[in-house]
A and B are shown apart, each in its own frame.
Chain A
Amino acid sequence: MAQTPRPSFTNIHITQIVGYRMPLAAVVSILHRISGGVMFLLLPLIVWLFDTSLSSEVSYERFVAAFDTGIGFVPGIVVKLVVLGLIWAYLHHFTAGLRHVRMDVTHATTKAQGRRSAAFTLVFSLVLTVLLGAKLFGVY
């Protein structure tokens, strides 16, 4: 039997992304994916932080020192910035995920509702990131 070529449907090409004006819900959606991917790739760092902060008082000292003197050849400021990025990634992923659960449960799926909850997700996760980041950088 001869193979007939199957029709292929593609999204916009990667070169078109830059000029594409994404609605807010799309921004939240792609950031949801990116934040998830980043946390997956940095999972060993997260488990390392869990390990050193919890295992013993001595390892806790090393955990605290990582933010000041760094880990190996990575300076402390870079560790702080990476962890700040992880905090944002977690909070964004958390909020955007609850947004999905809410839409599933309440069927709140109009265009206006989507835009409003997307704006809330971006603002809420950024405000929480600033609050926790200030603590990380020792502002209070």
Chain B
Amino acid sequence: MSERHGSKRLVVGAHYGLRDWMSQRATAVLMAIFTIVLLVQVLMPGPMGYDKWSGIFAAQWMKVLTFVVIVALAWHAWVGVRDIWMDYIKPVWLRLVLQVGTLAWLVGCTGWALQVLWRL
């Protein structure tokens, strides 16, 4: 096996960005399905109120789908925001601070959203 650490570490190459690219598409398709499912139910005739709105999220399959989408959104946002930092932020220390901050931000928001979903 060739040495892959120190100055010979793998920085670029085939398959390196494939996982990010692929997960960006997979999570996007999941969120698109959720968006369409939600829009169809919201646009159903009848006045919008708490009963109709909470009724949409009352079905168990919708709760499971929403759970999956919340996790997918966090993953998707992590890949996207990390791309922004890598494009514009050159100092490594600042990039690290922003990436750690991004993770904390996303984990916090994901936890809050799941807590809301759990209570329903």
Q: Which residues of A contact B (CB under 8 A)?
A: 33, 36-37, 39-40, 43-44, 47, 50-51, 53-55, 57, 60, 94, 97-98, 100-101, 104
Contacts and interface: CB of A to CB of B under 8 A. Distances in A.
A36 B57 CA distance: 25
A37 B102 CA distance: 11
- Shortest 3 CB-CB distances between A and B: which pairs? A60-B50, A43-B109, A51-B116
A97 B25 CA distance: 8
B90 to A, nearest CB: 10
Contacts of B106: 43
Contacts of B29: 101
Contacts of B77: 36, 39-40, 43
Nearest to B108: A44
Contacts of A97: 28, 32
Nearest to B114: A47
A53 B53 contact: yes
A43 B105 contact: yes
26 contacts: A36-B77, A36-B80, A37-B81, A37-B84, A40-B77, A40-B80, A43-B77, A43-B109, A44-B112, A47-B109, A47-B116, A50-B113, A50-B116, A51-B116, A53-B53, A54-B54, A55-B119, A55-B120, A60-B54, A94-B31, A98-B28, A98-B32, A100-B25, A100-B28, A101-B25, A104-B25
Contacts of A60: 49-50, 53-54
A53 B49 CA distance: 10
Contacts of B32: 94, 97-98
B35 A94 contact: yes
A39 B116 CA distance: 19
A1 to B, nearest CB: 10
B19 to A, nearest CB: 15
A57 B53 CA distance: 11
Nearest to B56: A54
Given A33-B84, A40-B80, A54 B109 contact: no
A108 to B, nearest CB: 16
Contacts of A98: 28, 32
Nearest to A90: B35
